[in-house]
């Protein structure tokens, strides 16, 4: 347990440095934006943040590897091991480049295939969320100004606030009709994309969120926060999430209902 506490303390240090870089570039008139091969945008802030985090980890955790969205996988300088950090330098780059303040740096620690600690820092919102396995989930402006968080107790879909990122992906995988039935049947639906819906889920502000495809760096930091807050995250088949996986996050009480509702293909 103490090990994860130490790792979370380091994650806060990493986030402090990331926030300073990203906020200096947010809404900057000279921000440089390019398109990656998959046509998603990458800014000079994305690459600068990841480089800074990698440099600190190389010094502070030489026995840990790193996987980042922008620069891929790097083995530990001390040799291959079981632990590695997963970094999304700016989750929500499309928001970032358009001046929308809903974006964050995602930092996770993996042991094998399991995320054991995660931190999400959204400096333009003035808020962070973090958790370590067995340590609980917390939110606040920083490590010293934090409140323990937990998911909601909503038990029925008709009472639920349901979140999604967009509808295009659900159309692509043949489940748009199923998603529309959910959105029309719940108490409330909103499209808070990227990390933000999962953090609202962990805080109990909404009850479920689903996305058709995410990469490991999109989700690794989110999993410990949601689960330590009492929630549940799986893929569409109810299995632990993996790279390029569909994701369903709920307060746990609604999980089977959401799985069942999304099982139907159009």
Q: Cβ distance 61 to 8 under 8 Å?
A: no
111 is an annotated ligand-binding site residue: no
Phi-psi group of 170: left, alpha or beta (phi > 0 → left; psi -120 to 50 → alpha; rest → beta): alpha
- The sheet that has 83-91: what strands, in order across it? 72-74, 65-68, 83-91, 104-111, 114-122, 127-132, 136-142, 145-148
- Tell whether the torsion through CA atoms of 155, 147, 241 and 262 is positive or negative: positive
Cα–Cα distance between 261 and 193 in angstroms, integer? 20
Partners of residue 129 on adjacent β-strands: 120, 139
- Tell whether the torsion through CA atoms of 128, 130, 136 and 142 is positive or negative: negative
**125: nearest Cα among 144, 102, 91:** 102
- The sheet that has 245-250: what strands, in order across it? 188-190, 161-164, 208-214, 245-250, 232-234
- Indicate the helix (H) or strand (E) that contains 121: strand 114-122
88 is an annotated ligand-binding site residue: yes
Under DSSP, the state recorded for 81 is: -
177 is an annotated ligand-binding site residue: no
In this structure, are strands 136-142 and 145-148 parallel, antiparallel, or unpaired? antiparallel
DSSP assignments along 174-205, one per residue: T-HHHHHHHHHHSSEEE--TTTHHHHHHHHTS
Known binding residues are 69, 88, 90-91, 218
Binding residues for Mg(2+): 69, 88, 90-91, 218
């Amino acid at each position: 347990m103490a090990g994860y506490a130490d790792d979370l303390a380091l994650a806060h240090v990493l986030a402090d440095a990331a926030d300073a870089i990203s906020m200096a570039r947010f809404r900057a008139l000279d921000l440089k934006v390019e398109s990656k091969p998959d046509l998603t945008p990458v800014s000079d802030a994305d690459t600068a943040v990841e480089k800074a985090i990698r440099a600190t980890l190389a010094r502070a955790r030489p026995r840990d590897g790193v996987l980042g969205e922008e620069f891929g996988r790097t083995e530990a300088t001390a040799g291959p091991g079981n632990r590695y950090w997963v970094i999304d330098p700016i989750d929500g780059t499309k928001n970032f480049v358009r001046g929308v303040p809903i974006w964050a740096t995602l930092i996770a620690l993996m042991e094998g295939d399991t995320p054991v600690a995660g931190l999400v820092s959204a400096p333009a919102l003035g808020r962070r969320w973090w958790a370590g396995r067995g340590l609980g989930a917390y939110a606040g402006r920083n490590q010293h100004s934090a409140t323990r968080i937990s998911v909601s107790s909503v038990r029925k879909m008709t009472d639920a606030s349901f979140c999604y990122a967009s509808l295009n992906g659900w159309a692509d995988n043949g489940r748009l009709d199923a998603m529309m039935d959910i959105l029309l049947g719940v108490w409330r639906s909103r499209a808070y994309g990227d990390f933000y819906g999962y953090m609202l889920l962990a805080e109990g502000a909404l009850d479920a969120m689903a996305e058709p495809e995410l990469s490991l760096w999109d989700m690794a930091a989110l999993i410990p926060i949601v689960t330590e807050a009492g929630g549940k995250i799986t893929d569409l088949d109810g299995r632990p999430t993996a790279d390029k996986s569909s994701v369903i996050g709920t307060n746990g009480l609604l999980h089977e209902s959401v799985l069942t509702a999304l099982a139907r293909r159009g």
